[in-house]
């Protein structure tokens, strides 16, 4: 019981402190308008990447059509606001629910298809969504796009607007995080992971793998839909071109870079990716060349991603901190251990023959 309260307080406290620091930085313009908005965009990327990590990292099903889910969420929310005048919060939730419905449907082919076949089916799904959005002109504005999606707030003061934008996205990041981490650290989550580990064994241990595949796809799609809704309000303009295959590929890249099945890794990678994409604009035409090259090099030399499947635990960190486990001596010894480990790793291993 005591533990439980400690955990809740730490998580709540960490979120509030994090939020407060960033909001103050934005208010005092230490984090200028440009960087503040970028941070907000990064939050949206975090949400969508987390949802993909649920499908690919935890459930083990390769999905190449995440932009399709995002697209459905974005358009549903935008249409809910613009045509049906639903308040923003509920519009985002509606976007999530409608996307969840599609996640549920895509779950069914996932029962029959394995590996690459499922990947290409989801890719096809993403493309179909895009084409359908172009053709549903009366609702979506077609290829010309949907203009004038109302933003989170319109006070006229840029700083206030930006902080409000950020607050919305931050709130949804926390919600998505709680859904995914709490789910994964429960028996239902373990059932989902057992599918990734060995579907046949999981089934033989009494896990209804079909149910949990569809369940995972539904939840993941719901979260991706939330991200889509935020995306719509963030940009204020939607166009099917924004949800192409390259977009889906970017999310796969984020999830793999962060480490499949690592929530913290995904967060770091998503934020890093958003910023890197922006910073690389100075290279102009060479930006995408460098990006392609970087992808290849990273995969050649650093496949496991930032975190592997490990997690950084804020609760564990707080506990260690309170117990005084972060004395300088300990930190030094830990670092030297890490270096030693890293050196050992560099030794060639014989995993080549499989």
Partner 1 sequence: MAVLDIQNLGIVFGGLKAVTNFNLTLEEGELVGLIGPNGAGKTTVFNILTGVYAPTSGDIIFNNTDSKKGPRSIIKLKPHKITQLGLARTFQNIRLFKDLTVLDNIRIAFHFNVKYTALQAILRTTFFFKEEEEITEKARELLKIFNIQHKENELAKNLPYGEQRKLEITRALATNPKILLLDEPAAGMNPQETQDLMHLIKFIRDKFKLTILLIEHDMSLVMGICEKIAVLDYGHTIAIGTPAEISKDPKVIKAYLGEEVEADA
Partner 2 sequence: MREVVQQLINGLSLGFVYALIALGYTMVYGIVKLINFAHGDILMVGAFAGYYVLGRFGVSPVTMIIAFIISMAICALLGVIIERLCYKPLRNSPKIAVLITAIGVSILLENGARVLPFMGPNPKQFPTFKNSIHIIFGYTVSTVQILVIVVSVVLMLLLTYIVKYTKMGKAMRAVSYDMKAALLMGINVDRVISFTFAIGAALGAAAGVLFASSYPQIEPYMGFMPGLKAFVAAVLGGIGSIPGAMFGGVFLGVAETLTKGFISSELADAVSFGILIIILVVKPTGLFGKNTREKV
Binding site for partner 1 (CB under 8 A): 4, 8, 178-179, 182-183, 186-191, 193-194, 197-198, 200-210, 215, 309
Distance CA 145, CA 143 (A): 5
Nearer residue to partner 1 within complex by CB, 116 or 198: 198
Nearer residue to partner 2 within complex by CB, 114 or 147: 114
Question: Minimal CA–CA distance to 245: which of 120, 117, 144?
Answer: 120
* Residue 120: contacted member of partner 2, partner 1, none (CB under 5 to 8 Å, by partner type): partner 2
> Does position 101 bind partner 2 by CB under 8 A?
no
Length of the chain measured in residues: 354
* Residue 109: contacted member of partner 2, partner 1, none (CB under 5 to 8 Å, by partner type): partner 2
- For residue 147, the cross-strand partners are 237
Nearer residue to partner 2 within complex by CB, 135 or 157: 135
* Residue 186: contacted member of partner 1, partner 2, none (CB under 5 to 8 Å, by partner type): partner 1
Q: What is the closest distance, in whole angstroms, from the C-beta atom of residue 348 to partner 2 in the complex?
A: 13
Q: What is the closest distance, in whole angstroms, from the C-beta atom of residue 65 to partner 2 in the complex?
A: 10
* Residue 339: contacted member of partner 2, partner 1, none (CB under 5 to 8 Å, by partner type): none
Distance CA 63, CA 88 (A): 29
> Does position 242 bind partner 2 by CB under 8 A?
no
> Does position 210 bind partner 2 by CB under 8 A?
no
Query: What distance, in Å, lies between the first and last C-alpha atoms of the chain?
Result: 47
Contact (CB, 8 A) for 70 and 48: yes
Is the sign of the CA dihedral 6, 10, 11, 16 positive or negative?
positive
Nearer residue to partner 2 within complex by CB, 13 or 115: 115
DSSP string, 69-109: HHHHHHHHHHHHHHTT---HHHHHHHHHHHHHHHHHHHHHH
**Taking phi first (over 0 means left), then psi (-120 to 50 degrees means alpha), and beta for anything else, what does residue 308 get?**
left
**Contact positions toward partner 2, by CB under 8 A?**
56, 62, 108-109, 112-117, 119-121, 123-125, 127-128, 131-132, 134-135, 200, 245-246, 249, 252-253, 256, 260, 285-289, 291-296, 299-300, 303, 351-352, 354
């Amino acid at each position: 019981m005591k533990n439980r309260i400690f955990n809740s307080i730490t998580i709540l406290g960490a979120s509030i402190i994090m939020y407060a620091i960033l909001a103050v930085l934005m208010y005092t313009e230490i984090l200028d308008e440009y960087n503040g908005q970028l941070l907000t965009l990064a939050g949206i990327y975090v949400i969508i990447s987390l949802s993909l990590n649920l499908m690919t990292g935890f459930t083990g099903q390769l999905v190449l059509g995440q932009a399709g889910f995002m697209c459905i969420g974005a358009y549903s929310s935008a249409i809910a606001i613009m045509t049906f005048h639903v308040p923003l919060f509920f519009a985002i939730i509606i976007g999530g629910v409608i996307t969840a419905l599609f996640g549920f449907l895509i779950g069914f082919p996932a029962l029959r298809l394995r590996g690459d076949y499922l990947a290409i089916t989801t890719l096809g799904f993403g493309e179909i969504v895009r084409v359908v959005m172009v053709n549903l002109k009366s609702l979506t504005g077609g290829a010309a796009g949907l203009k004038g999606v109302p933003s989170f707030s319109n006070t006229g003061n840029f700083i206030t607007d930006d902080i409000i934008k950020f607050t919305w996205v931050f709130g949804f990041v926390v919600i998505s995080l709680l859904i995914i981490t709490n789910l994964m650290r429960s028996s239902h989550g373990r059932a989902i992971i057992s599918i990734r580990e060995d579907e046949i064994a999981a089934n033989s241990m009494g896990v209804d793998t079909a149910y949990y595949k569809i369940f995972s796809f539904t939840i993941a799609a719901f979260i991706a839909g939330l991200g889509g809704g935020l995306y719509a309000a963030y940009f204020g303009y939607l166009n099917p071109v924004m949800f192409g295959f390259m977009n889906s590929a970017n999310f796969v890249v984020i999830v793999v870079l962060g480490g499949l099945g690592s929530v913290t890794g995904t967060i770091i990678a998503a934020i890093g990716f958003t910023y890197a994409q922006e910073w690389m604009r100075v290279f102009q035409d060479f930006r995408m060349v460098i990006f392609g090259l970087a992808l290849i090099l990273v995969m050649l030399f650093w496949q496991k991603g930032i975190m592997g499947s490990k997690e950084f635990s804020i609760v564990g960190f707080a506990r260690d901190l309170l117990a005084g486990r972060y004395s300088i001596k300990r930190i030094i010894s830990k670092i030297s251990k890490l270096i030693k480990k890293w050196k050992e790793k560099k030794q060639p291993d014989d995993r080549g023959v499989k």
